[in-house]
Amino acid sequence: MKYILSSFLLLFGWQLNAQTISGKILEKPDEPLIGASVRWVQNPQNATFTDENGEFEILRNNLQHQLVISYIGYITDSVMAHGDGPFTFYLSPDNQNLEEVVVKSSSTAIDRISPMQTQIITTKELAKAACCNLSESFETNASVSVSYADAITGARQIQMMGLAGKYVQTNIENMPGVRGLSIPFGLSYVPGTWIQSIDVAKGVSSVINGYESMSGAINVELQKPDLAERLYANAYVNEVGRGELNLNAAKKLNDKWSVGLLTHASALKNEVDRNGDSFMDLPTYDQINVLNRWKYSGERFMGQVGINYLNENREGGEIVNPVLSRSSYRFLNKTQKFTAFSKTAILFPETPYRGLGLIMNASFLDGNSQFGLNNYDSKENSFYANLIYQDIFGNTQHTYKTGLSFLADQYDEAFDNFGDALLLKRNEIVPGAFFEYTYNKLDKTILVAGLRADAHNLFGLQITPRLHLKQDLGASTVMRLSVGKGMRVPTPLAENYGKLVSSRKVELLDAIQPEYSWNFGGSITQSFGKNSLILDAYHSLFTSQQIMDMETPGSLLFYQSFDKSYATSAQAELILVPSDRWEVKAAWRLLDVKQTMKTDDGGTRLVDKPFVPRSFALLNVGYAMPYNKWKADATLQYRGKQRLPGSDERIDGFVTLNTQLSRNFVNWEYYLGVENLTNFRQSNPIINPQNPFDQAFDAGQIWGPVVGRMVYAGARFRIR
């Protein structure tokens, strides 16, 4: 604990921030351009993008006063920016000029400069659904799928390219987010109204962010105190009684200091049992979540410091029936989490390509769960630090980033229905170093080569190489290729939390070992006007993988496999903006995900990974009236056949439909929506609910919606 406590104290010694200038990019009054690129003429690699209101903020450069503004389908312009702003700039449409930085629809931007295939989800895209938390933020995104919550715990995870969210490096502002013991409910710990934007990148990420990215990376940017509305409130309620209240406040105290407060409270207290199996379809819960952050603006420094506290209580399982001659099967969970972070940088105005930054994050999680007769207690103390220095070789065409990192995790788990509790306790201490070189020729050819070395106290030296290439093929076509290695250490019970709701005997057949994989693939992005077509294919090949095996009734096994396991994903996505009022997104994805599992006779066999659809399709259509007074959105999803554990049987595919209608006023917005309008529900989501303490009882085989159709309504209020 010494290294955690001492590092935690250092968090409050860094509270400096650089001066910035701000502004807004418009096509015409009241019509902002979302995702426009803004950058200094002589510092193109540090571009920023406008948000859903067309607003931007960029670090001041005392040696430059000329900004370049570019946007797909518009004439690139250079403008003079003296002073602090805020400035207002206008761009003119030009359908012949397609050399801008991003491909844009009204709600989604595609980063054309990034060597990784990256899609930016803005708050306008998030507003297409209720988006109560991060787990519900991907309903209109084709690349990220969210698993359905089981009826007992409500835990949800994402999937990307056929692999579970544990293989996706999910960060909050480039700091560790959903990982370790936070995996079961970590997505629900980030309220949707706190989110400013979400970057979704496919393939392995930069070595700067660590070694854990194996199939993609997600970075969530939260509302900043100097850019957010002065006051933002959101109230939400649905037909089963789930209610949420969010209140965000931000204030610029003076030209140097700003402060922000993000709050969230939600609860569901009704016991809902629509399928009549005497088990709640949703757990009851209550959550309080508060984040406070401060920013200070100096001349040569940048930084901010913040703290986040969360408290959540969940209860699910069998509805108490006094007629029963036995006790009821109950699920309980109480979680408290505290996080503190600091982000600082030293700037060199005379040489704007040079910089030194430090990110630090400390988190403490305490969870207590009960699954029927079994208790599961979990504690995690983590500390993360990343020191980054960037500079050039000769000129800005050749840049590099190098630095040192430090990661410390302390896990303490105890589960009653488990053989050896000592296998679940471990301390990981991982100092590391990295170097990344970037060759950038006029933003048309970008090559990024990175290498990191980490000295893991339990598993020795870890070498992680990664390579990314981005090449423009003419004015409207971009090709990307990537290859790299990923490594992670699993936390099996947390990662399979929903599978613990059963009477299966949990066994860890092998000691916990790292998982290793190589990911390689690429994409082609074709732009035509404001529209785009994206084709991509990626393959993840595991050289070591921990297998979760529930093929045998009554057993939940974990063991290490060094045999063939892989995930192949191919996707086509079409984004259309036929007019200023309409936007259409259509996508189709094919998956081939297999893993080698043990058989009863002591052999092995390569089988389809259970609960992974072979195909996925999405269609999203949005319409907005002038000035966005009325907005209507509909999202249709199709999930193909999935294999169930214990057999080669595959359940048929199914369709769900979500819709929402919203009305905007000057400061108010009201919305009404329906989730799962088709009312599709998984039949018998709980196996043998009449005998929950029998060996055949299992509530962990969820592949579809449990609740069915859900109507919701809400209101948003903002003062800019």
What was the pLDDT predicted at 107? 66
Q: Can you tell me the mean pLDDT for 344-349?
A: 83
At 691-703, the pLDDT tens digits run 998 888 999 899 9
- Which residue's structure tokens are 């970590």? 186
Which ranges constitute the DSSP H helices of 117-194? 123-126
Phi, psi of 413 (to 5 degrees): -125, 150
Does the pLDDT at position 497 exceed 50? yes
Q: Which of 135-144, 287-296, 687-696 tops mean pLDDT?
A: 287-296
Is it the case that residue 46 has pLDDT exceeding 70?
no
Residue 523: strand pairing partners: 480, 536
Taking residues 410-431, what's their average pLDDT?
A: 83
Measured distance CA(19)–CA(40) in Å, rounded: 15
The answer to whether residue 229 scores a pLDDT higher than 90 is: no
Looking at residue 422, its pLDDT comes to: 57
Distance CA 369, CA 317 (A): 13
Strands of 139-282 (E only): list them: 144-146, 158-160, 163-164, 168-172, 175-176, 195-202, 216-222, 231-238, 243-252, 257-268
Question: Is the model's pLDDT at 353 over the cut of 90?
Answer: no
- Percent of the chain at pLDDT exceeding 90: 60
Q: What pLDDT, on a 0 to 100 scale, did the predictor assign at position 42?
A: 59
Which residue did the predictor score with more confidence, 338 or 700? 338
| pLDDT tens-digit map of 4-36 | 444 444 444 333 334 577 888 887 766 777 777
Lowest mean pLDDT: which of 176-190, 272-286, 406-420, 533-547? 406-420
Alpha carbons within 13 angstroms on the beta-carbon side of residue 68 total: 14
pTM: predicted TM-score of the whole model, two decimal places: 0.84
* Residue 349 or 669, more confident: 669
Could you tell me the end-to-end alpha-carbon distance of the chain, in angstroms, rounded to an integer?
Answer: 43
Looking at the chain, the number of H-run helices and the number of E-run strands are 3, 45
In this structure, the number of other CB atoms found within 10 A of the CB of residue 661 comes to 14
Query: What integer best gives the mean pLDDT of the chain?
Result: 87
239 in Cβ contact with 191 (< 8 Å): no
Q: Which residues pair with 623 in a beta bridge?
A: 582, 632
Average pLDDT of 577-598? 93
Q: At 314, phi and psi to the nearest 5?
A: -125, 150
Separation of alpha carbons 272 and 155, rounded Å: 17
Here the tokens at position 558 are 């974990």
The structure tokens listed for 13 are 């010694």
Nearest CA to 418 out of 316, 512, 537, 292 is that of: 512
Question: Does an H or E element contain 493, and which?
Answer: helix 492-495
**Banded pLDDT at 84 (limits 50, 70, 90):** low
Helix (H, G, I), strand (E, B) or coil at 628: helix
Question: What is the pLDDT at residue 103?
Answer: 43
Ramachandran bin of 474, using left for φ above 0, alpha for ψ from -120 to 50, beta for the remaining angles: left
Q: What confidence category does residue 256 fall into, taking pLDDT thresholds of 50, 70 and 90? A: confident
- Name the token pair of 423: 């296998």
Spatial contact of 247 and 717, defined as CB atoms under 8 Å apart? no
Tell me the DSSP string of 228-252.
S-SEEEEEEEETT--EEEEEEEEEE
Residues 272, 149: Cα–Cα separation, whole Å: 14
Token pair for 321: 């029936």
**Least confident stretch, 37-51, 175-189, 546-560, 652-666:** 37-51
Q: Which residue matches tokens 């939600």?
A: 266
Tell me the β-bridge partners of 67: 40, 79
Using the predicted structure, report yes or no on whether residue 572 has a pLDDT greater than 90: yes
Residues 63-88, mean pLDDT to the nearest whole number: 71
- Residue 322: partners with Cβ closer than 8 Å, 6 or more residues away: none
**Residue 354, pLDDT above cutoff 70:** yes
3-state secondary structure of 423: helix
Instruction: Tell me which residue of 210, 223, 202, 188 sits closest to 53, measured CA to CA.
Output: 223
Flag whether pLDDT at 105 surpasses 50: no
Instruction: Assess whether pLDDT exceeds 90 at residue 123.
Output: no
Structure tokens at 118: 């990256």
CA distance 618 to 621: 10
